[in-house]
Every structure is written in structure tokens, then in C-alpha cells.
Amino acid sequence: MAVQTEVAAPRLGFRVPGFARRHGFVYAFALAWLVIVVAAAALADLLPLPDPTAQDYAYVRSGPSGAHWLGTDSLGRDILSRIVHGARVSLIVAALALLLGLTIGLVLGLIAGYFRGFVETAIVTLADSMLAFPALVFLMVLTGVAGQSLTNVVVGLGVIYVPTFVRLARANTLVFAQREFVLAARAGGARSGRIIRRDILPNVAVPVFSYSFVIVAHLIVAEGTLSFLGLGIPPPRPSWGAMIAEGRQDMADYPHVVLLPAAVLFLTVLCMNIVGDRFRERLDIRESAV
């Protein structure tokens, strides 16, 4: 088998890397892009890039050049550097908000699904009323009252996704709480807390974590939207949404100022969704095999 592919590969003109051959080009590309984005965000300070807030008046709204690979914006700031540093803000906000929403949602969902009764009614009603409240209004009020800061944006976005995780965790808990291994654990004298922690949580975590990728993609878009509306991370810290907002006025004459961060945002969210979908598929297959 291996011999055959070795022979067949040169006919394409180039050798397909093993990973891409096994998992498909799209998935390999998506994964590679995400690795690049995460690495860039993590290593932003170490990369040989200009300061994202430094203004170079010799190159205002310039196109790509040797000095500024992706050009500069209306204040002469390096777009590549701002995209890289913006990735950091986007990813940090998305990751922290996810962590917050997931933790609270998972705990509440497990409690609601396991104990049922009054507790469940209370939690589900709370989650449903949160879903009914317009998210943007909530975020505008929050940043209006508590001020614009990284913490407030993270808390705001995290809270908005709590009901999603409550529902997901509760629905899965309901399924697994019916399984015989839970009954067996109770027959073995285990307490409710222990059953939730050791028997139900590991099972519920599978769908919840695989769904997290999709939620992260949502959160990146949400952060971009907030920044675009001027409700996100306060300037001059770069963020993809803010970059798009700032370049908006000159879009007709200097489209690259808007299109580059928009393209990066688009690509990152797309790749996140592709990887998230693949994750979910694989976990589903294992689930059904069990």
C-alpha cells in the first residue's frame, strides 16, 4: 500500500504531505492556519514586527511595501503588526469568554439535568430568559455602566454564552443520567456529587468541548462586532473589529485597510468552524461505536 502511494505521488508533480492525504486538504489547511494564528498571537512580541501603535508618517495608507509588508492604515501604523497583535486580543477575549461561559454553563447544566425538579425549572427558566434578552443591548448597557475594558468585554461575552452551555450540558446530562452505569454507581453507594463528577461529567464533556470550537468562532465574530461598534477593547490596542471600523471611511480609496483584517477574521472563523465540525464528527463516531 505504502509503496503504491509513493509511486503514484510524483505523477501529481509534488508530494502530498501525509497528514493532508489522510485528513483532506481543507482540514489540513484549516488546522495549519489556526496554528499560525495562535502562534503569531502568542509570539507577537518576539516577532520582528514594528510596534502596532507606532505611526510612520512616510507611509500613510500605503499599499504593501518592503517596509510594511501589508501596508499601513490611515495613521501610518503597520497593518501586519496590528493584525498579529489583534489576533492576540481576539483570541484572549474568545478563550476567556469561552472558559467563563463553559464553566458556569456546564456546572448549571449538570445540576439541572441530574437533580431535576425545582432546581432544573429555576435554572432552565433563568437560561431561557437570558436567551430572550437581546445580547447587544446587554453588552451596550454593561460597557456603558461598567466601562470599556478587557475584563468587561470578557465577562459580557461569557455571560451571553452561559445559556447555550446550560442547554447543551443539561440535555446531555439527561441522557447519561439514565444510563445503567449511573445506576450501578448509585448501587455501589456513590454520592450524587461523585456520580456527577466521575460518571456524568466525562461523558458530557465530550459534546460540550467539541461544540466549544464553534462557540469560539462565534465569540471571535462577537468581539469583532463589539469593537466595530466601538464597544470593545479601548484603542489604541489593535483588534480586528476595530481595524475594520477605523478603515471604514477610506474603504473606497484604500480598500486594503479594511479588507486585510476582514479577510484574516473571515479565514480564522472559517477554519475554526471546519476544525470544530471535524472534531464533532469524530467524537460522534466514537460515541456511537460505544
Partner 1 sequence: MTAPLLEVDDLRTWFRTDRGIVHAVDGVSLTVGRTQSVGIVGESGSGKSVLARSIMGLLPPRRTLHPSGRISFEGQDLAQLPARRLRRLWGAEIAMVFQNPMTALNPVVRIGRQLTECLPGLSGAAARAKAVELLRSVGIPAPERRLAEYPHSLSGGMRQRVTIAMALARDPKLLIADEPTTALDVTVQAQILDLLERKRKELEMSMIIITHDLGVVAGRTDSIVVMYAGKVVERAPTRTLFARPRMPYTEALLKAIPRIDDPPHTRLDAIGGRPPDLVDPGPGCRFRDRCRYAQPRCALEEPPLRPAETPGHEYACWFPVGTPEGAAAAGADARTAGRPAISVEA
Contact residues toward partner 1 (CB under 8 A) are: 116-117, 179-181, 183-184, 186-191, 198-199, 202-203, 206, 286-287, 289-290
Q: How far apart are CA 82 and CA 251, in angstroms?
A: 18
Q: Which residues pair with 118 in a beta bridge?
A: none
What's the Cα-to-Cα distance from 279 to each of 23, 28, 170, 200, rounded to whole Å? 12, 13, 21, 20
Helix and strand tally (H, E) in the chain?
Answer: 12, 0
- Among 234, 78, 46, 72, which Cα is nearest to 153's? 234
Are the C-beta atoms of 208 and 169 separated by less than 8 Å? Answer: yes
Q: How far is the CB of 187 from partner 1 (least distance, A)?
A: 4
23 vs 179 by CB, closer to partner 1: 179
229 vs 283 by CB, closer to partner 1: 283
- Backbone φ and ψ of 72, nearest 5°: -130, 165
Cell triple for 133 = 434578552
10 vs 188 by CB, closer to partner 1: 188
Can you state the angle between helices 255-289 and 25-42, rounded to 10 degrees? 120
Are the C-beta atoms of 227 and 241 separated by less than 8 Å? Answer: yes
Q: How far is the CB of 169 from partner 1 (least distance, A)?
A: 15
CB-count exposure of residue 83 (10 Å: 0-12, 13-18, 19+): buried
80 vs 185 by CB, closer to partner 1: 185
Q: How far is the CB of 179 from partner 1 (least distance, A)?
A: 5
Q: How far apart are CA 97 and CA 287, in angstroms?
A: 28
- Among 215, 264, 267, which Cα is nearest to 241's? 264
176 vs 228 by CB, closer to partner 1: 176
68 vs 170 by CB, closer to partner 1: 170
Q: How far is the CB of 205 from partner 1 (least distance, A)?
A: 8
Q: How far is the CB of 41 from partner 1 (least distance, A)?
A: 31
Q: How far is the CB of 111 from partner 1 (least distance, A)?
A: 16
20 vs 283 by CB, closer to partner 1: 283
113 vs 224 by CB, closer to partner 1: 113
Query: How does 159-190 read in b/e, with b if 16+ C-beta sit within 10 Å?
Result: bbbbbbbbbbbbebbbebbeeeebeebeeeeb
